Structure 1
């Protein structure tokens, strides 16, 4: 069981989907893994336990950073934990595998929360405040032959993500997809989502995908 300070995203179905895809990647002592928007560090833990030689977890939240450090310590895993804004603190480094389950839920406006639990899911009106930046920044820190694994909802534009990654000369495929029931956040935004045409009236499930983009 992972330790989690209040306000840190609790691993859910989307995290487990991505963790399962990580398990299908070949990781060994020379593998360098970067976990962006790491939350509790669930994906970092999975990569380290799968045999990755180097794992770096990055999150902008101090509580997330502390949670990751606690989870690494209790498991005696050598995970490097950095507080930072996506790739800003590791621009000069290169990674064989980048994994990210970022905030991607469409919000009422584009003002991103600076604190509080909503920071774990609010991602601007179109849900792409973090997705667009990850698509743009990740290729710069991918080693030759490296892979990006990125999770998102269909509500935040699957086609745009694929297009952005392909424009970075990455080979893109869907590594996993599933339909899951709306959680409390989407249930609370049902009217807004219907008014924007993002869901059908009465819709109660969303499609979650994991992109695999290889350099």
Structure 2
């Protein structure tokens, strides 16, 4: 791949930032403190992997088998290039029931007015719709299906998307929520929620 192609991918793929690092730190720490899942090993899915940073950290720092997914074909290619087993997918749609002991997701969460959105891959990686939850709510409605018994979800949420509203939506889908990490900035607080049944 030449430099121009690389630059094109990097402008179309969400690259690691503070939210990525917070999610990776929390997931790696939490997985280090739990026992093995069914069959003696754990299988973790990272939804919306972007560059593959979070999935790569989980694979390197835990004993889990990690699978990543992203709707963006550029992200899928970039994550595969760094050795992450990656599937092009819309949220959890192609995966079988009960396949994962943990699911991690750093969703698009920035509130965006419909008339100011532009149609490209970076916009899709950032825009959470008018309330910041346009992707979070469908994810919460579908993720339970792919969780193994005792499985957990690690969801990064911004205060811009209303953490309490996200926890309430998770409750409506049968999850209990606990904040396991957070980091404050002048304009928002990022929180990692652990969702469990």
Q: In which range does the TM-score fall when normalised by the shorter chain?
A: 0.7 to 0.9
Residue from 159, 170, 174 that aligns with 1:165: 170
- TM-score, normalization: structure 2? 0.85
Name which of structure 1's ranges 3-12 and 83-92 shifts more when overlaid on structure 2: 3-12
**Counterparts of 1:112 and 1:141 in 2: how far apart (Å)?**
31
Deviations 1:54-78 (A, max 9, x none): 2110100011001101111xxxxxx
Pairwise CA RMSD? 2.0
Tell me if structure 1 keeps the 8 A contact 2:98–2:145.
Answer: no
- Stretches of structure 2 that go unaligned for 5 or more consecutive residues are 1-5
- TM-score, normalization: structure 1? 0.79
Deviations 1:147-194 (A, max 9, x none): 10000211112111111212222221001112124xxxxxxxxxxxxx
Deviations 1:13-60 (A, max 9, x none): 111111110121235661100000110111110111123332110100
Residue 82 of structure 2 corresponds to residue 71 of structure 1: yes
Tell me if structure 2 keeps the 8 A contact 1:8–1:63.
Answer: yes
Matches within 5 A, 1:83-122: 83-109=88-114, 114-122=119-127
Matches within 5 A, 1:178-189: 178-181=183-186
Partner of 1:25: 30
Partner of 1:136: 141
Q: Give the Å deviation of 1:112.
A: 6.7
Partner of 1:188: none
Q: Give the Å deviation of 1:113.
A: 5.3
**Counterparts of 1:126 and 1:98 in 2: how far apart (Å)?**
23
Tell me if structure 2 keeps the 8 A contact 1:102–1:130.
Answer: yes
Matches within 5 A, 1:49-64: 49-64=60-75
Tell me if structure 1 keeps the 8 A contact 2:167–2:177.
Answer: yes
Tell me if structure 2 keeps the 8 A contact 1:100–1:149.
Answer: yes
Partner of 1:191: none
Name which of structure 1's ranges 28-37 and 134-143 shifts more when overlaid on structure 2: 28-37
Residue 121 to residue 60, structure 1, CA distance change in 2 (3 Å): same
Number of residues of Structure 1 aligned to a counterpart in Structure 2: 184
